[in-house]
Amino acid sequence: MSSNRPPIIWRAIAFVTIVCLSLLVLDGWRSWNARAVKLGEMDVATANLSRAMAQQADDTFKEADTALLALAERVEVDGTSPAAMKRLRGILLMSRQQLPQLDGLFVYDANGNWLANTTSTPLNRFNNADREYFIFHKQHRDARVHIGAPIISRSSGNWVIPVSRRIDNGDGSFGGVVLATVKIDFFRQFYDTLQIGNAGAVALVLNNGTMLVRRPFDTKLVGASMQGTELYRHYVALGPVGTAFIKSAQDGVTRLNSYRNLQDYPVFVAAALSKNEILHEWWRDTVWHSAGVLCLVVVVALSGWHLVRQIELRTRTEAELIKTHDSLERLNRTLEMLAMQDGLTGLANRRQFDVTLHDEFSHAMGQGSGLALIMIDVDCFKQYNDTYGHAAGDECLSTISRLIRDLAARRPRDLVARYGGEEIAVLLPETGIEDAVAVAETVRHAIRELGIEHRGSPAGVVTISAGVEARVPARGMDDPTRLIHAADIALYEAKREGRNRVVAARKDAVH
């Protein structure tokens, strides 16, 4: 056994070690990939959940807003006379019956006095001039709808979300407010139907950070500020739509949160699933699977130890056989390399080119990526051989080949091959026609700049012509020969147009 090779015993130990580590690594990769897939599925699930919540909230507020818009217009047109208010109350009651999400509908004058409502509460019992929504409309001439922080209704005692619009007098001055109170229980009932697990959470929040309603429901959180929470910071910084793992400021549970802004109103929703619940099944599967793999590793390690012992006993008698086998392997590798390499230029030969072209063509077809081919021919090479001799011609071709390989084969999968005679092919995976033409032009300029004397060429120096084709192979419609044919046609065009140039294949060259 030669001194520069490791003993067979160490190779066996290394083999067993690699097998055991490979099993562990592959199992780890499988588990991690399964985790990523699970999180990806839950990412989609939470996004769909938030989209459904946003649509439900948007529809709920839009129905209330539509009713308010009609009420405000009627008050502004008909006025607030007792007769008008009597007719208006009938409309309020009808709208209330049609909109189950509403706790009540109200009309207030400019002083906050009740003009009409859908409750049995006497009109003179309360004054709402102190409410946030009333003050907002009194101070702002904005005609848009206003959604305020949750309040406890004075008429029903229920938690409600005030949705209101301003009433203008004929001169544009403040004339009062129309109000629809949306029941928080309406959202609670909908959120209770959502499948979010035992530790999931959903929330409806104003854009200013005020909590409207949350599941799990807690009256302490109704109207609370979320401005200091990580969820709100994500929404402000990255909104209006996003997904992130966030530790809840309410209960400390880390959840996958998907938040989404309502299309027409200053409100956003958040749907969150517990990270622990998402990964629970994955953890269980990983533990069982990993335990099985560990048992297999132990079996392999024991078998390997027994194998090493057997190899150690037979090393002396098999040394010569191993040496002969290794020599034969080296010879086979050398022959294989020589069989795939051009002896003169050191480039890949035609055989290797054909194999690589077939593989890359299949890969490009499967991935839907581009594949470019540059066919290069040395201009007037026969005249060069006739003038300077075949030895000089071989040297010239070797020099040009090395330059093309250095300039064109910049990536591991790029291939430069001697196609035949003085013709060289450059195969560029994942490359479009413009980039391939740029590579060919770079090669052409570089070879001309070598300044190799050529009295038989119109340029006076050795030059090349190149034909370029690139395409995204279509399954059932293309094959590698069509790519070669198109590049050959382009090369012929370059020769016909005067040589020392690069021509790209026309789109209609080969179909």
Q: At 292, is the pLDDT very low, low, confident or very high (cuts 50, 70, 90)?
A: confident
Domain shared by 250 and 368, yes or no: no
Distances from the Cα of 226 to the Cαs of 42, 147, 204, 344, in angstroms? 24, 17, 11, 75
* pLDDT, position 6: 54
Residue type present at position 483: L
What's the number of domains the chain is made of?
A: 2
147 and 295, same domain (yes or no): yes
Please compute the mean of the pLDDT values over residues 97-113 and round it to a whole number: 89
Confidence of residue 75 (pLDDT cuts 50, 70, 90): confident
Q: What is the CATH number of the domain that holds 439?
A: 3.30.70.270
Q: Is position 215 within any domain? A: yes
- Considering the domain architecture, whether residues 319 and 387 belong to the same structural domain is answered as no
Task: Report which of 465, 458, 467, 428 is spatially closest to residue 444, judged by C-alpha positions.
Answer: 465
Asked if 174 and 207 sit in the same domain, the reply is: yes
Question: Is 472 a domain residue?
Answer: yes
- Residue 332's pLDDT is what? 66
Which helix (H) or strand (E) segment holds residue 322: the answer is helix 280-339
- pLDDT classification of 2: cutoffs 50, 70, 90: very low
Range of the domain at 446: 350-504
Q: Measured between alpha carbons, how far is 150 from 268 in angstroms, rounded to an integer?
A: 15
3-state DSSP call for residue 505?
coil
The residue with tokens 């700049």 is: 449
Q: Is the residue at 477 inside a domain?
A: yes
Same domain, 183 and 213: yes
Based on the fold, state whether residues 419 and 309 are members of the same structural domain: no
DSSP 7-72: -HHHHHHHHHHHHHHHHHHHHHHHHHHHHHHHHHHHHHHHHHHHHHHHHHHHHHHHHHHHHHHHHH
336 found inside a domain: no
Tokens 């807690």, located at residue = 218
Residue with tokens 């090493």: 308
pLDDT, tens only, 446-480:
999 999 999 988 889 999 999 999 999 887 767 89
Question: Is residue 202 a contact partner of residue 196, using CB atoms and an 8 Å limit?
Answer: yes
Confidence of residue 15 (pLDDT cuts 50, 70, 90): confident
Q: Of 299, 331, 363, which closes a domain?
A: 331
The rounded distance, in Å, linking the Cα atoms of 318 and 310 is 12
Coil/strand/helix, residue 225: strand
Residue of 277, 281, 329, 422 with catalytic role: 422
The residues near 276 (Cβ < 8 Å, ≥ 6 apart) are 199, 253, 254
Same domain, 146 and 252: yes
pLDDT tens digits, 186-232: 999 999 999 988 889 999 999 999 999 998 888 888 989 988 888 88
Q: What does pTM read for this prediction?
A: 0.55
In this structure, the answer to whether residues 360 and 324 fall within a common structural domain is no
Task: Give the lowest-confidence range in 26-30, 264-268, 401-405.
Answer: 26-30
Q: Which residue has the higher pLDDT, 56 or 12?
A: 56
Distances in Å between the Cα of 368 and the Cα atoms of 152, 223, 470, 511 are 61, 53, 13, 18
Catalytic residue flag (residue 41): no
Q: Is residue 509 part of a domain?
A: no
The per-residue DSSP string of 135-178 comes to HHHHH----S-EE---EE-TTT--EEEEEEEEEE-TTSSEEEEE
Answer yes or no: do 52 and 193 share one domain: yes
Residue 345 included in any domain: no
Question: pLDDT at position 309, please?
Answer: 74
Query: Could you tell me if residue 17 is inside a domain?
Result: yes
Q: What is the dihedral angle through the alpha carbons of 428, 429, 432, 433, rounded to the nearest 10 degrees?
A: 30
Q: Is 58 found in the same domain as 24?
A: yes
What CATH number corresponds to the domain at position 88?
3.30.450.20
Residue at a domain's end among 296, 331, 366: 331
Verify that 134 and 63 share a domain, yes or no: yes
Kindly list the strands in the beta sheet with 254-261, ordered across the sheet, starting from the edge strand earlier in the chain: 211-215, 201-206, 267-274, 254-261, 241-247
| Per-residue pLDDT, 335 | 60
Residue 27 lies in a domain: yes
Q: Are residues 263 and 368 in the same domain?
A: no
- Summarised one tens digit per residue, pLDDT across range 343-399 is 888 898 999 999 999 999 999 998 989 999 999 999 999 999 999 999 999 999 999
Question: 68 is written with which tokens?
Answer: 């308010």
- Cα 205 from chain centroid (whole Å): 28
Amino acid symbol at 125? R
